[in-house]
Amino acid sequence: GENVEQHPSTLSVQEGDSAVIKCTYSDSASNYFPWYKQELGKRPQLIIDIRSNVGEKKDQRIAVTLNKTAKHFSLHITETQPEDSAVYFCAASIPGGGADGLTFGKGTHLIIQP
Amino acid sequence: DTEVTQTPKHLVMGMTNKKSLKCEQHMGHRAMYWYKQKAKKPPELMFVYSYEKLSINESVPSRFSPECPNSSLLNLHLHALQPEDSALYLCASSQAQGQPQHFGDGTRLSIL
């Protein structure tokens, strides 16, 4: 099955600075890569996703890049704000993957220092 | 607000009880999922219903039993659970597998 590694496990940045979270995946058949934000005690919320036929996608302060050859993808958050503090999960999905569904990375606890 | 509704929000049960978790979506999605999430861990996929076909994560014990009465409802039947089954149980739905998944708020389950 798919295996997703995520780094770092904790990331502390000053408000206004940029944050980058990196993930690698093992199965070259994976073709869908979402990112979720989860605040304490709340549900995971989809913030951005990318498919394997695209190298980069941007939505306001959030961007995701994908390198299929190296099998890694990254989340970039610019001009960070206190409300960006949360746990961020990357995930990968294999098409028609049966019970595989989404495989998540272990998460990154992003802390925005005021 | 979430478009995936889960009930109950909290559940405390003994190891000999039988209970059910419920999940409902009205977005016309044809794939629904159950995930288990322990504290400070990522969600782990338990079951997928896609176009009325069930796929099972083989590591899930048989004391968890999913049921899909129709395309908008997904239940998770619980029987003879163990203390280590205490967790947040999340339901999600998507238009199809490989499409964006939207999560409900979850049911926080505690086994005494």
A92 touches chain B (CB under 8 A): no
Contact between chains at A96 and B40 (C-beta distance less than 8 A): no
Q: Select from B82, B94, B6 the least CA-distant residue to B49.
A: B94
A40 touches chain B (CB under 8 A): no
Amino acid of residue A61: R
A96 touches chain B (CB under 8 A): yes
Measured from the Cβ of residue B88, the count of other Cβ atoms closer than 10 Å reads 18
Residue entry with tokens 């176009």: B51
Q: What is the pLDDT of residues A36-70, one digit of tens each?
A: 999 998 999 999 999 988 899 999 999 999 999 99
Tell whether the model's pLDDT for residue A100 goes beyond 70: no
Measured from the Cβ of residue B4, the count of other Cβ atoms closer than 10 Å reads 24
Chain B, residues 45-74, CB within 8 A of chain A, namely: 45, 47-48, 55-58
Q: What is the pLDDT of residues B54-63, one digit of tens each?
A: 888 888 999 9
Tell whether the model's pLDDT for residue A99 goes beyond 80: no
